[in-house]
Structure 1
Amino acid sequence: MIEKNVVTDFCSEASEPVIDASTYVHPLAAVIGNVILGKNIMVSPTAVVRGDEGQPLHVGDDSNIQDGVVIHALETEMNGKPVAKNLYQVDGRSYGAYVGCRVSLAHQVQIHGPAVVLDDTFVGMKSLVFKSFVGKGCVIEPGSIVMGVTVADGRYVPAGSVIRTQEDADALPEIGADYPFRAMNPGVVHVNTALAKGYMVKQGN
């Protein structure tokens, strides 16, 4: 389902999602409202990208939104005025939630804005990113919670961790040559961009 949002006191305009022609949205997924989806994105069954409260929501080229993923955000506007505390700035623009390029959002991940996940990051199954800024080339292992912090580039969050203080975030280990999941994300990106292309061909696009 792809549709406009409704107008409310926290969302003054009805917006149609902007989806690149090379991106595949499965019929059992939902993309609603002020959402920007880049090129070669696979939006899998039961994924929800809902830009009807906090907005806009952005997902960059060659990323993947796997089964059961939710991207949503707290209200970024009230009675026509921006709610600054619920917005992140990326490249001079404001977003309720921003996902960069070549990012993998594995099954049942929640990216709840205000949130940013930058390029080449892998977010593992059943993880939550909320009120946080995650840098480039990171790995959030499955079942983790990242809330209210900034995660530097090239760090990993061990499986099942709860990262709620900046001190904990700053202590996260760096991804080194011996880190077992260091090379995983490019493979996940390859699989999902190939699936997106294949499904687009199948439906005649």
Structure 2
Amino acid sequence: MGGNNRSQSSRSDHSHCCFKPFISPNPRTTFNPVSRYPKINKTAFISPFSSVIGDVAIRRNVYVAPNVSIRADEGTPFYIGTNTNLQDGVILHGIVNKQIYVDGKGYSIFIGREVSIAHGALVHGPCYIGDKVFVGFNSIVYDAIVGEGVFIAYNAVVTNGVRIRPNRFVPPGANIDSQEKADALMPVPTDSREFAQAVQRVNQEFPASYHLLLGKNRCSCGLAYD
């Protein structure tokens, strides 16, 4: 009987254990002398083991999976639009004093609505990612403007100031580092578009579902956020 009680007690203790994300202002530095807290919509979900640092705006129903790093401590600010998902291991960072402009405001990283950034991808500012873009597994987007509906396949690189027109397809492993290469990209194939839509459908359910599972008090390690 005693052994059973210990086992039940152990299971009970584990059921109340919850690892939190790390949510923090940026540190004060010579290039960013003001500490700014992230602004995270209450409907967004930031998973355990992820970090959100600095001047980051996260809008409605965004899903941030485990082990994501959103670090606006150098290049800043970041914007992440409604219904976007950042999957496991995604990294967002930016170079100081390098920005793109959206509606007259400067951003290190601007990510639109219904964007999927897949496992292990790196998005490094300055960059703009339009609505309904898919950024594939282990791909890199740095110093680029990516138009609406673009599909970037796995292990691809998009960089060097290129602008990709809407609804273009970046093939697996491609290195799009010149405007000539960007202009030669073909339209997104039907199967890739359908895949991106399916990924969106799945990930848009996660924020509300995880809030129900783990509770809505998504405080950081001792740091409150709005």
TM-score by length of 2: 0.84
Letter in 2 for 1:194: E
**Which residues in structure 2 correspond to 1:116-135 (within 5 Å)?**
116-135=128-147
Identical positions, percent: 35
Paired residue for 1:153?
Answer: 166
Whole-angstrom distance in 2 between the partners of 1:132 and 1:88: 9
Partner in structure 2 of residue 33 of structure 1: 54
Deviation at 1:119? 0.1
- Structure 2 residue runs without a partner (length 5+): 1-21, 217-226
Which stretches in structure 1 are left out of the alignment for 5+ residues?
77-85
Which amino acid in the other structure matches residue 139 of structure 1? F
Q: 2: distance between equivalents of 1:23 and 1:182?
A: 25
Q: Following TM superposition, by how much is the alpha carbon of 1:188 offset from its aligned partner in structure 2, in angstroms?
A: 1.0
Aligned length: 194
C-alpha RMSD over aligned residues: 0.9
Pick one of 36, 48, 56 that aligns with 1:15: 36
In structure 2, the residue matched to 1:143 is 155
Post-superposition offset of 1:113: 0.2
The offset of 1:196, in angstroms, is: 1.2
Q: Deviations along 1:4-63, whole A, 9 cap, x unmatched?
A: 110101112101000000000012100001111011111111001011100001110000
Q: CA deviation at 1:189?
A: 1.4
Q: Which amino acid aligns with 1:126?
A: N
Name whichever structure is richer in helix by fraction.
Answer: 2
Give runs of ≥4 in structure 1 deviating > 3 Å.
Answer: none
Q: Which moved more, 1:96-105 or 1:187-196?
A: 187-196
1:193 correspondence with 2:209: no
Which of the two has higher C-alpha Rg? 2
| CA deviations over 1:91-124 (Å, ceiling 9, x no partner) | 2211001110000000011100001110001000
Tell me if 1:92 matches 2:104: yes
2:24 is the alignment partner of 1:3: yes
Match of 2:187 in 1: 174
Looking at structure 2, the residues matched to 141 and 12 of structure 1 have their Cα atoms a distance apart, in angstroms, of 38
Deviations 1:64-92 (A, max 9, x none): 0000000110002xxxxxxxxx1101122
Equivalent position amino acid for 1:201 in 2 = L
Q: Does the residue aligned with 1:40 lie in a helix, a strand or coil?
A: coil
